[in-house]
Amino acid sequence: MLTIALSKGRMQDDALALFARAGAAVAESELNSRRLVISTTDGRYNFVLVKPGDVPTYVEYGVADAGVCGRDVLMESRADVHEPLDLKFGRCKIAVAGKREVLGEDYNLLATVRVGTKYPRIATDYFHAKGVPIEVIALSGSVELAPLLGLSDRIVDLVETGQTLKENGLEVIDVITESTARLIVNRASFHLKRVEVSDLITSLSRAVGSAQESEAP
């Protein structure tokens, strides 16, 4: 039996649906319960439901053998784990956004850009790669407010449709990277539970493939 950490919330349903397509479904009664540990009916997987940002931690420490989380979370955590599969759901972008008036990529290289974000590491790496000095202002929500109130010049945040940005008079200035849900695997479980992990990777890989096909027009 493998223990798998899943992100509570946004991605949880998609992840469970994918597992169900891969032949490992969770009983309806368990789904409707408020338990934080649920198992598939075939007894192959135990799911632990944790905060999205904690998924890489559970997997890196080996408390969970594998996990499903967004690439954004994975990049930010820098967890030392395997990431064998792109599960192709939960698609969004990690983007730099700012106010219309201060658009443009030609940052004044001498000035420090203040960046409000939930992703301090991704933001730092991005601006440093461009040689732009920044001051990171770590926020945990309503990041769009920061430029409006003058707390920051830019924000780095997840963008799904761009609607929230637009309504707040902000625009995407640059897309840092695309993010989708990833399967991540603990480095030790990869060997200690090799057969189960191989089976997990191949069956999810197949389920992702069939989902892609059925979506294609």
Partner 1 sequence: MSSLTKIPAGVQYFFDDEVKLRRYVERRAMEVFAGWSYDEIILPMFDYHDLFARGMGEEKAERTYRFVDRDGALLALRPELTSLVARTVATRFIRRERPVRLCYSGEVFRYDEPTERAAREFHQLGVEQIGEPGIVADIEVLLVAAEVLAALGLNGFRIALSHVDFFNGVADFLKLESRGRARLREMIDRRNSIAVEEFLQTHAELVEESRRADFSRLIQIAGKQDVIRRAREILINERSLAAVDHLDRIYSTLESLGLGENFDVDLGDAGGLEYYTGLTFKVYAPGCGAEIGGGGRYDNLIANFGEPEPAVGFSIALDGLVGAISMNDDKLRWRGDGEVQTISFDGDAARAFEQARRIREHGKKVKIGAK
> Which residues make up the interface to partner 1 (CB under 8 A)?
60-63, 80-86, 185-192, 194, 197-198, 201-202
Closest to partner 1 by CB, 41 vs 202, is 202
Closest to partner 1 by CB, 40 vs 77, is 77
* Whether the Cβ atoms of residue 161 and residue 155 lie closer than 8 Å to each other: no
* Whether the Cβ atoms of residue 64 and residue 82 lie closer than 8 Å to each other: no
Q: Could you please report the per-residue DSSP string of 126-184?
A: HHHHTT--EEEEE-SS-TTHHHHTTS-SEEEEEESSSHHHHHTTEEEEEEEEEE-EEEE
Q: Is 49 helix (H, G, I), strand (E, B) or coil?
A: strand
* Whether the Cβ atoms of residue 105 and residue 96 lie closer than 8 Å to each other: no
Count Cβ atoms within 10 A of the Cβ of residue 131 and give its class: 0-12 exposed, 13-18 middle, 19 or more buried: exposed
Q: How far is CA 93 from the centre of its chain?
A: 10
- Report in angstroms how near the CB of residue 64 gets to partner 1 at its nearest: 9
What is the C-alpha separation between 189 and 27, in angstroms, rounded?
26
Closest to partner 1 by CB, 11 vs 185, is 185
Closest to partner 1 by CB, 7 vs 189, is 189
- Report in angstroms how near the CB of residue 170 gets to partner 1 at its nearest: 30
- Report in angstroms how near the CB of residue 131 gets to partner 1 at its nearest: 17
- Strand arrangement of the beta sheet that strand 66-70 belongs to: 37-39, 45-50, 2-7, 66-70, 181-185, 82-86
- Report in angstroms how near the CB of residue 71 gets to partner 1 at its nearest: 10
Closest to partner 1 by CB, 15 vs 185, is 185
Closest to partner 1 by CB, 13 vs 61, is 61
Closest C-alpha to 155, from 104, 107, 117, 196: 117
- Report in angstroms how near the CB of residue 167 gets to partner 1 at its nearest: 34
- Report in angstroms how near the CB of residue 182 gets to partner 1 at its nearest: 9
